Amino acid sequence: MLLTIKAVSQKFLDNLNFSIVSLVKLVSYRSRMAQVDMAIDRKGTLCLRMKIVKFFFGDDRFSLKGFENTFLFVFGGKIFLKNLFSLRIPSVLKKQAMAISGGVLGGFVLVHMLGNLKIFEGPEAINAYAAFLKNLPWEILMGFRLVLFLAAVVHIVTGILLTLENWRARPNRYAVKQNIKTSWASRTMIWTGLFLGLFLVLHLLHFTFRLLFPEYNSVSFNTQLAGKEVYNVYKMIITGFSIRWIPIVYVFSMGVLCLHLSHGISSLFQTLGLCNEKWRPLISKLAVAYAVLVFLGFILIPIRKMLF
């Protein structure tokens, strides 16, 4: 009897494939009709009501996990951001957090650029470099990625918070234009930053996760290196930049990155108190030089592919 109950219960759980019972309640397993009503009240509390929606189980099996995760991510994310933007964090702390996270990201782009330039040493060099990174100990690799992810999140969130704070402090900023000496790069930091965030998504889908062009995941993109089969990063890069619009987008995006870095690097030193009026002009010039160096290093590959 117990075995029968256990078998029936297991079959029931397998059919539901259900994980978040606290958010989504299955009202009728055999029903053909359903409707999902979602609402977020004024306090930001997630209210998810599920009635039965028109779907067909196909041999009595249906998975709601994807829907659950989507609801949790989208609406939970809204609540998180709403509460985050309402926090009273001192401006000084936000500026310092943005500076430090920006420094981490700014240092990474230089390392990333230098790694990319190995492509000019030939297929074996870039493929060996990529294989080396992929075979790093899991703790090091995931730790590195986690630091980059957190730096990106902190940089984006603090940048948006500081911009909103500045806008709230100057509600009539368009009524009178004051003659304040600021560079175009500093005035457009929020917009260049948001653009780079979108480009980062494109770049990850293109070369990292290889979802933009799924053919990159085929066995034809594998090669032999020192008797071992590795992924042919050289072929992926050459193939990726063979599509005309991609190198154009990359070159333009690197120009935006150059503009963003040219002001961001100098602001980093100023925010962290690492420069004074005497050293500021020199640091500003070094920041521009750094930004131009990164720009030139990154565009060499797409420009060469466009011209040759």
pLDDT digits (tens, 9 = 90+) for 14-50: 443 343 333 333 333 333 333 333 443 333 334 433 3
- Residue 272 pLDDT > 80, yes or no? yes
Q: What is the pLDDT of residue 306?
A: 85
- What residue ranges do the domains of the chain occupy? 2-84, 90-172+184-307
* pTM above threshold 0.85: no
Q: What is the mean pLDDT of residues 184-193?
A: 92
pLDDT (tens digit, 9 = 90+) per residue, 192-228? 999 999 999 999 999 999 999 999 999 999 999 989 9
- Residue 234 pLDDT > 60, yes or no? yes
Q: How confident is the model at residue 170 (pLDDT cuts 50, 70, 90)?
A: confident
Distances, alpha carbon 267 to alpha carbons 43, 109, 148, 308, in Å: 37, 17, 20, 39
Query: Which residue is listed with tokens 């306090």?
Result: 43
CATH number of 90-172+184-307: 1.20.1300
